[in-house]
Structure 1
């Protein structure tokens, strides 16, 4: 290791990309808990945006459209920025060889797809908070769809990138664990997103609200999972992982 690399290692333990998923997940879960606890503490009130025909469980956006809207916008904005930077950080660190690098153009394409999906989803999350469900119902639902779609595209891109990556790094237990963690998240979130859409369409709002809360809480774990990917960079130096021996791929065109 070079002298410069050794000097920078200590600093990166405190200033590194791995802080973004930590900050994002903390802010997101804190925002959700603040909304939920406030709603419960207020006696589970009925909000103007709720369906008058039997809805008793508030959607996240119902609470976020009331006097806690500034908190909701702030939480969504910080989470969105951290989400995008977590994915961009992984791409940059792989390019720099500070974590296991991409070994093919296909992997890089999937990585870029994941980043683009994250950007789309993040823009949707910020806009759905700004255009709240009480005043801008149609726009809010459009941006909610954009958020869910963007996150799912991002998750799929990440899973495919890691699937191809682990073909050349089969001895890396970390890559394998991360791939399966994100794959499980994608499957569960995709299934719940479909269920949420059906429940919303059928105006089954209590069940739909419950599913939405579960979806949002699970997103915390997904975002935090990137900390596991980025953490090695806190102690690595540029180019360290570029010399890692690759496992021969199944066929040469990979």
Structure 2
């Protein structure tokens, strides 16, 4: 019974990215369906030649309370994903950080997620209809924060995977994050350009990036569930180093 209970410990962590991703994805669909079902209205926050509403245009209307709530939950969930991942590595239930540089990148990733999460919450509060300038500033904060967090996480995973080259799950985590984050960053750059050139294309890109963010959150599910059945300290850096020294002495 104790073993079965321990095997289920990881579910306390994996529900965080799952819940955050599900609520975010469902809310985006609620916003999109609301705009389409109401006849694609032209909101006061939209440009005269704009035909496709931005997420913020729809969210600044009757669904603003829902948008603020879900943005707050998603922002906090994003930060908690990185915090728990750091904790599980530190406690020896995930492949550990073997060097200081990896711990630094992990901390920077958490800081970036906190900046991005705060930006997401604030852009939902300061909507584009009533506070257009502040909304754009916090949108930029959100994008930059998430991008930096993703980059730092990818670098951290890259360094860890070099120490454990034959750990397939770790490599898979690294490549999933790199591919999803890379695509989103490229789309974010294109979105920034279209903000000044073609707002309709920019709106399409914004919806695409927002839906893509769901998949980035889900990569943390894959990371955290690797702690399943692993006892505290089982993958600690000291234990792995001692095991390596033992194998080297045996080889000699």
The reply to whether TM is greater than 0.5 is: yes
Aligned to 2:229: 235
Pair 1:96-2:91 in alignment: yes
Of the three residues 6, 24, 32, the one matched with 1:9 is 6
Counterpart secondary structure, 2:186: helix
Counterpart secondary structure, 1:18: helix
CA distance in 2: counterparts of 1:221 and 1:60, whole angstroms = 18
Confirm or deny: 8 A CA contact 2:68 2:124 kept in the other structure.
Answer: yes
CA shift digits 1:10-67 (9 cap, x unpaired): 55154x2111111110011011011001111111111110111x21110000000000
CA distance in 2: counterparts of 1:74 and 1:186, whole angstroms = 25
More helix per residue: 2
User: How many residue pairs align between the two structures?
Assistant: 242
Residues 20-39 of structure 1 correspond to what in structure 2 (within 5 A)? 20-39=16-35
CA shift digits 1:49-107 (9 cap, x unpaired): 0111x211100000000000001101101101110000001000000001111111000
Deviation of the 1:184 alpha carbon:
1.4
Give ranges in structure 2 of 5+ residues lacking alignment.
246-252
Confirm or deny: 8 A CA contact 1:99 1:241 kept in the other structure.
Answer: yes
CA RMSD of aligned residues (A): 1.8
Of the three residues 151, 154, 159, the one matched with 1:159 is 154
Deviation of the 1:233 alpha carbon:
2.0
CA distance in 2: counterparts of 1:7 and 1:214, whole angstroms = 41
Give the TM-score normalised by structure 2. 0.91
Confirm or deny: 8 A CA contact 2:8 2:229 kept in the other structure.
Answer: no
CA distance in 1: counterparts of 2:192 and 2:214, whole angstroms = 21
Aligned to 1:183: 178
CA distance in 2: counterparts of 1:206 and 1:133, whole angstroms = 16
Aligned to 1:44: 40
